Structure 1
């Protein structure tokens, strides 16, 4: 665990221009402490949780900044491949009206996520499945306002499948690196809304896609979007 965690957290939030309330800061520390304890037993993250700046920026500051883009106070969010809990848990802390569903296929990681939900008192559930296993469940069809995903690489087939969880007019929050002039292949039913820089030192960004309804004649092929800020 980082010495002077609150001091480091506040410094990193200030540098990123992120507002940090005392309640959010306290719950971020509770999450980070739990993550550090469990990470010593099972591999939840490859980040050095003792080092400070990079781990806090990636795990906490990025979701804190992204929470600004949650425009609906009672939004329903599904996070795919939740693993160590970020960005999903910090997003739910920073946007407390969220109803959160985390999808994680690994049993031990799911156990951590359930313990985190209990400890943090969040309105959240954990589904121990591959997301593909949930696509046929009618209760999961277009139930979410937002889908979040850490995605260094993501293809059009995956994006097309994940759309099943998101209502028309809903959004994807893709946490991605900025890698120069990069393109993202999109299904015709997805529109690039914006790409928001997150933490400068990490060269990270939040890519927001909007799910739209299109006519039959427009759904035959995908499009590529340049994500350079």
Structure 2
């Protein structure tokens, strides 16, 4: 089986939209390497390592949520998530023009009416003004957790959820960056697995709820650090 052949578990994740997922895989397999979206070795593992790996985070995304995918790149995890969950409204945010062009083409080709593409970075005021108040922000292989939280948590409504797709060292990253996450308004990070029923290696995610405003949390973090030093 090659990376562009549909695995048995795909139907369980995508349901009656599995053909759209398959079309996305074929597009990525045909054009991803030449357009600098994926490495040559990734073509053989598009389904498991990239598309299903992304789509299974549907398990932790609330119904009818507004989702912002930061640093979307090839459309991961935003496009597989949007295919698997048509109830979601998904905005893909990507700074590089050639990748934005790719995302626009995919959205049009697959007729993903619930997906919007924006060019920019999460920390830019223009992007923040357009997507703030989201229910969920996703990010895959974008930045360390401390920096990622500073970019993404301000985009969330109070009680909204950052879903960061991470690797095997997620727990170590959480321990290292816990204070920085709290300083920008995040609650206690939780490490969870998604897709255990369909993936040989489940997707590891770090979930962080926005529990307070950035300004307030920053003051509290500085006060706590000062008390600790004293």
Given the two structures, how large is their TM-score scaled by the length of structure 1? 0.79
Greater alpha carbon shift after TM alignment, 195-204 vs 61-70: 195-204
In 2: Cα distance, 1:136 partner to 1:60 partner: 26
1:65 CA displacement: 1.8
SS in 2 for 1:187: helix
In 2: Cα distance, 1:87 partner to 1:4 partner: 17
Q: Could you say which residue in structure 2 is the equivalent of 1:24?
A: 17
1:50 CA displacement: 3.8
Considering only aligned residues, what root-mean-square deviation do their CA atoms show, in Å?
Answer: 3.0
Q: Does 1:87 align with 2:77?
A: yes
Greater alpha carbon shift after TM alignment, 176-185 vs 108-117: 176-185
Q: Does 1:113 align with 2:103?
A: yes
Structure 1 residues 153 and 107, CA, compared in 2 at 3 Å: closer, same or farther? closer
In 1: Cα distance, 2:90 partner to 2:110 partner: 13
1:165 CA displacement: 1.0
1:104 CA displacement: 0.8
Q: Could you say which residue in structure 1 is the equivalent of 2:26?
A: 33
CA deviations over 1:122-171 (Å, ceiling 9, x no partner): 111111112222467533332x1100001375142441232221111100
In 2: Cα distance, 1:190 partner to 1:57 partner: 30
Larger % of helix: which? Answer: 2
Alignment of 1:100-139 (within 5 A): 100-122=90-112, 123-134=114-125, 137-139=128-130
Larger % of strand: which? Answer: 1
1:69 CA displacement: 1.3
Q: Could you say which residue in structure 1 is the equivalent of 2:144?
A: 154
